[in-house]
Structure 1
Amino acid sequence: MRRYLFSTGLFSAILSGLALLRSMREKEPFTWRTALAWLSWGISVTLAVGAAVDTRRARRGREVAEDSPIAPKAEKLYKKRLDSARAS
């Protein structure tokens, strides 16, 4: 579980969210640029979580969507899991 919570994509999305929160404390007005920044942050978090879920599915031998960035590596991850299971 730790592997997925501390993935680089999710970590960077959380840090950018913290930067957005700090900017909200400075009592600046909420503009359309701020709204777009929050929308972008939401999309980044969603993509990072999706990549972590796809990686977990591939490692467990489950099907991964073809449009996932993990799809080309899914077979390799599955074989790695089988090899580690055999070694145990």
Structure 2
Amino acid sequence: MEVPIDKTLPIQVTGTLSGVPYLGIYITNNKLIHEGKYIEMEFEEGTKVRKKISSDQKGYILFEKTTPEVPRESVQVSVIKDSQVLYTNEY
């Protein structure tokens, strides 16, 4: 599967919230790549999945290891530096 990259957006997100939730995330903003420490997805009930950002990597796959009992409506994706949120958006 190919996902068209829109370089005007700081990150691209594709994935599913049903079944075993996962997100494919592609960071297009160089500031977020170099200053961000973690990329995180957070669901409405508070479950979080976090991965460390590497300065030589733009693409990440975040997934939850279990299937949630209640279907999810949305997910919030954030790029975090220490305790500061550099970017966040809900999908």
Q: Which of structures 1 and 2 has the bigger CA Rg?
A: 1
Question: Per the shorter chain, which TM-score range?
Answer: under 0.3
Higher helix share: 1
Q: Report the TM-score, using the length of structure 2 for normalisation.
A: 0.23
TM-score by length of 1: 0.23
Q: Which has the higher contact order (CA 8 A, sep 6+)?
A: 2
More strand by share: 2
